[in-house]
Homo-oligomer: A and B are copies of this chain.
C-alpha cells in the first residue's frame, strides 16, 4: 500500500487541509490526525515536515500573516481609486476569512501557541496586529492622496477598524456578515477622518 511517491508539496497539502478543517469544523477540530486524514496522507508526514504540532500551527499562522500582508499590498494599490470605504470593506472581507477567525481564536485560547508566536508578533494579537499595520499603511497612502485628513492618525484609525471589524466578523457564527454591515462600521470609524468634515 505504500506509495513511495514523494509528495512534492506535502507542506502545502497539509496547510490546505488544515484550513479546510478550520472552516468546516472549527478550531477544536484541528488535530494532527484530522489534518493528515483530511489531506489524505500518512500520519507521519506532518511530523516529518514539522518539528511539532504546534510548530505546524505556528507556520499556518505565519502563512496567514503573509497572506494578510499581501492583501495589504493589493489594498495599497487601490489608494486613490473608488472610495476609501469600499476599498477597506474589500480588504477586511478578505482579511477576516473564517480561517483567520479560527486561527485568532486558537492563538488566544492556547498558551503554547501564543508564546511561540511572540517571536514573530511581539506585541498585539498575531494576524490582527499585522492586519492593523496593513490598514494603517493604506490609510497613510490615502492621507497622501488627500482622501484622509492630514490631522488623522492612521495607526489609531487602523487599530479601531481592525478591532471593530474583528468583533463584527467574530459575532457571526458560521458565515460572514453582510457587506453593508461591514461598510457601516467602516464608514462610522472613518467618518471623522474624512476631509469633508470640518472640525
Contact = CB atoms under 8 A, between A and B. Distances in A.
Interface of A: 25-29, 101, 104-106, 108-111, 114, 118, 123-125, 128-129, 132, 153, 156-157, 159-160, 162-168, 170-171, 173, 184-185, 188-189, 191-192, 197-199
A129 B111 CA distance: 25
Contacts of A114: 173
A125 B163 contact: no
A170 B162 CA distance: 13
Given A160-B164, A191-B192, A197-B199, A170 B109 contact: no
Which 3 residue pairs spanning A and B have beta carbons closest together?
A: A192-B192, A163-B167, A163-B164
Given A108-B108, A159-B164, A163-B165, 4 more contacts: A27-B109, A125-B167, A159-B167, A192-B192
Given A124-B171, A125-B167, A167-B162, A110 B192 contact: no
B170 A125 contact: yes
Contact of A163 (B111, B168, B199): B168
Contact of A189 (B28, B104, B124, B160): B160
A49 to B, nearest CB: 18
Given A163-B168, A197-B199, A108 B105 contact: yes
A110 B28 CA distance: 6
Nearest to A110: B28
A40 B111 CA distance: 25
